Amino acid sequence: MQRLSAIRDHVFGSRLLPCQLPACLLLAAMLASTGITEAGGGPENVAVIVNPTSSESLAVANSFVAARGIPAINVFMVPWPGSKDATTIDRFRNEILAPILRGIESRRLTPQIDYIVYSADFPWRIDYRDALPPEIAKQDTFPSGSLTGMTTLYAAVQGNGPGWLDPESNKYYRPLGRDGLPTETVGFRGWYGWGNDGRLLEAGGTNYLLSVVLGVTTGRGNTVAEVDAYLRRAATADGTRPPGTIYLMTNQDVRTTTRSSAFPATVRALEQLGINAEIASGALPEQKRDVAGLMTGTPSFNWAASGSTILPGAICENLTSFGGIFTPTAGQTPLSEFLRAGAAGSSGTVIEPYSIQAKFPHASIHIHYGRGASLAEAFYQSVSAPYQLLVVGDPLCQPWAIIPQVSVTLADGGGPLEPGASLSGTIRLEPRATLPDDGAADRFELFVDGVRADACGPGGTLSLETAPLADGHHELRIVAISASPIETQGRAVIPVVFANHDRRLALTVAPRRVPLSGSVEVSLEGDGIDSVLVFSTGRILGRLKQSSGKLQIPAVMLGRGTVTIYATGRGGRTQAESANAVPATVTVGD
């Protein structure tokens, strides 16, 4: 892949979603003026979409945010009172997709968002019959797409005509060589343009945003506890190179013969990567304790009866018609069965797709994953027509990635940057990264409270003017991006204190563990400020019109799980006249 050096200009709107974070937006507006656009594949690059009217959606989002360290500014509340199963394309465009894209723009995050990740309780099926020309509507027996497929193909969904129906609509799909295998695996960025031949372009081309659902908790889906378990399990798998086996199952069913011709070459490619792989007969591997990945095709199965064990980080999926349908009356085994057993991700179609390879992951999904791609990147590099495929799980999971280890020192002999360090004026940071086998970082990026602020090359320095920003707590993230086509990230996350204007704000919460029916008391004490805003991920919790006082926050507003509460005080109209408190974490649950 050709390394891109161009910086794309972005024009931002001013419309806000309900429940936005004004304090964060001020910081985002200031830092976004740098125009830097090269990054992706980490928590800073994910937009988490939450339905605030659903307790399940809040709980699932809380689990993912805690497990992956998603910055607060990357969480968006998009109310959805409609069906949790299906909606029309007009409602999807106007009430889900458009608010998400506007919200990302309004927070000045467009240059850094690569993934749109839905929490629970959004409709998994999008019915698009009304958007079809009459001549196509007569031919399309099942005019429906998936939430994740239609979101990934957002440019086509927003355009004129049903471009998402193109069997080669996804140009991020990696073409296959003469040996039937992908010649390359490449990292993904939301601002990259892809040409008709799959080439990454300096300008023009089609844009995508990789989309995954964290969990489906209705009908035949998983419980919130199951979603929490597999998301946390997946987060432990990064960089571990699981010592298991990827099983490619064969039988006489068209569900396996559709894909099995690629199995022998896939096994050879995986073994060259040092990953065990095996072609086995049947529907499931039997009595195997080392399932690091699975590709099968069968109308129904019973995982527990197989006696096999799924390892953390595994992608397990099944080519069948109704694997992504969660209504109780649907036949065939849903994808949730693999997730219940501990898989990091799975997929299934939301309507009858017929046995068309382009609509399902090619066997190369395991090659991309084994080369170090994230789960979302592996899926979308292996599906050329993803419009009916629902992808569920942890999009950031990357068991075979080689992750840079990052260290940071203050320039000019200032020593290591320590957590809690007090900083003022202009700071200059010297980042370093170590990788095995003589690997190196291509570049480093600095994020302040989740917003990209600066970048430099190896041996360079990252600079930040702290005086225009709020006094008090800030979180610095120094991200190293490897010099490889996959652009794997590693990061150091360091809480610090900016001290320029003698403004302070302290926050305490009690109790630290509270039932969902209870409330949390937030105590605030400020100096040099006039008002205080209290918020959690994606949601304003309350305000004080003075510098000190207390607020009672109903626990139901936070949702079950581990939640971080933030506070910022204002003494004027600028960031420099503000102060941030050290955030506090509470656990909500009965």
Q: What is the DSSP string of 302-360?
A: -HHHHT--EEEEEEEEE--TTTT--STT--S--THHHHHTT-SEEEEESS---S-GGGS
Could you report the per-residue pLDDT of 195-239, keeping only the tens digit for each?
999 999 978 999 999 999 999 999 999 999 999 999 999 999 999
**So what's the pLDDT on residue 479?**
97
Distinct helix (H) and strand (E) counts, the chain: 15, 33
Q: Report the candidate in 171, 164, 133 with the shortest Cα–Cα distance to residue 148.
A: 164
Residue 579 or residue 142, greater confidence: 579
Give the model's confidence band at 412: pLDDT under 50 very low, under 70 low, under 90 confident, else very high.
Answer: confident
| pLDDT of 23 higher than 60 | no
Q: Which amino acid makes up residue 455?
A: A
Question: What's the token pair of residue 33?
Answer: 């003026």
Q: Are strands 539-544 and 531-536 parallel, antiparallel or unpaired?
A: antiparallel
User: Please, which residues have CB within 8 angstroms of residue 216's CB and are 6 or more apart in sequence?
Assistant: 120, 124, 222, 326, 336, 392
| pLDDT of 9 strictly over 90 | no
The 10s digit of each residue's pLDDT in 104-130 is 999 999 999 999 999 999 999 999 999
The DSSP bridge pattern shows strands 462-465 and 426-434 to be antiparallel
The pLDDT of residue 25 = 55
Q: Of 169, 107, 567, 185, which is closest to residue 388 (Cα–Cα)?
A: 169
The residue with greater pLDDT, 58 or 14, is: 58
Check pLDDT > 60 for residue 249.
yes
CA distance 50 to 27: 22
Residue 307's CB is within 10 A of a number of other CB atoms, namely 12
pLDDT tens digit sequence for 328-368: 988 899 999 999 999 999 999 999 999 899 999 999 999 99
pLDDT at residue 26, as a whole number:
56
DSSP string of 537-553, one letter each residue: TTEEEEEESSSEEEEEE
DSSP codes joined into one string, 223-248 = -HHHHHHHHHHHHT-TT---SSEEEE
Does residue 142 surpass a pLDDT of 90?
A: no
Q: What is the pLDDT of residues 274-308, one digit of tens each?
A: 999 999 999 999 999 999 999 999 999 999 999 99
What is the C-alpha separation between 223 and 226, in angstroms, rounded?
Answer: 5
Identify each DSSP E strand in 138-287 by its residue range. 144-146, 193-194, 200-201, 210-213, 245-250, 276-281
Q: What is the pLDDT of residue 301?
A: 95
pLDDT digits (tens, 9 = 90+) for 426-445: 999 999 999 998 889 999 99
- Res 30: pLDDT: 53
Report angle CA 510, 472, 505 to the nearest 5 degrees. Answer: 45
Start-end of H helices in 327-446? 336-340, 365-370, 375-380
Average pLDDT estimate for 16-29: 48
Distance CA 78, CA 74 (A): 13
Q: Please compute the mean of the pLDDT values over residues 40-57 and round it to a whole number.
A: 93
3-state secondary structure of 526: strand
Q: Is the pLDDT of residue 187 over 60?
A: yes
* pTM (whole model) above 0.85: yes
Average pLDDT value for residue range 257-286: 96
Residues 6 or more apart whose Cβ sits within 8 Å of residue 40: 112, 114, 187, 188, 189, 190, 487, 489
Closest C-alpha among 335, 362, 332, 369 to residue 486 = 369
